[in-house]
Amino acid sequence: MPLQGFFNLLFGRWADNPNDQNYYVKVFFAVVAAVVCGLAGPIFAGVRGLMFGLLLYVTSLFVIVYVLEIEPETLGGRQKLVTNALFSYLLLWVLLWTLIYAFSL
């Protein structure tokens, strides 16, 4: 699976610590969401941007569980999988989205 190889290349150095992988995958997806929302301009300014950010957050959860094959129990259960690094994701995504949007106009 080429997608698994790509993510293992990016996040494989933290393979011994699943919490670190969880954090860095979510940070990666926050940066991707912010760049897309920021460069899309007015198209993603509003509810569309929020929905796209939420979609990428859910996608990051699927990447953690199914692509990197991290069991949620190693992170403390499904609730910890969802809530760990949630605020880091949100703050980084909104901050970068705002900066990119403001300086791209």
Is residue 105 pLDDT above 70, yes or no? no
Pairwise CA distance, residues 93 & 30, whole Å: 5
Predicted TM-score of the model (pTM)? 0.89
Over residues 71-101, the pLDDT tens digits come to 999 999 999 999 999 999 999 999 999 999 8
Is residue 3 pLDDT above 70, yes or no? yes
Over residues 34-84, the pLDDT tens digits come to 999 999 888 888 899 999 999 999 999 999 999 888 899 999 999 999 999
Percent of the chain with pLDDT over 70: 98
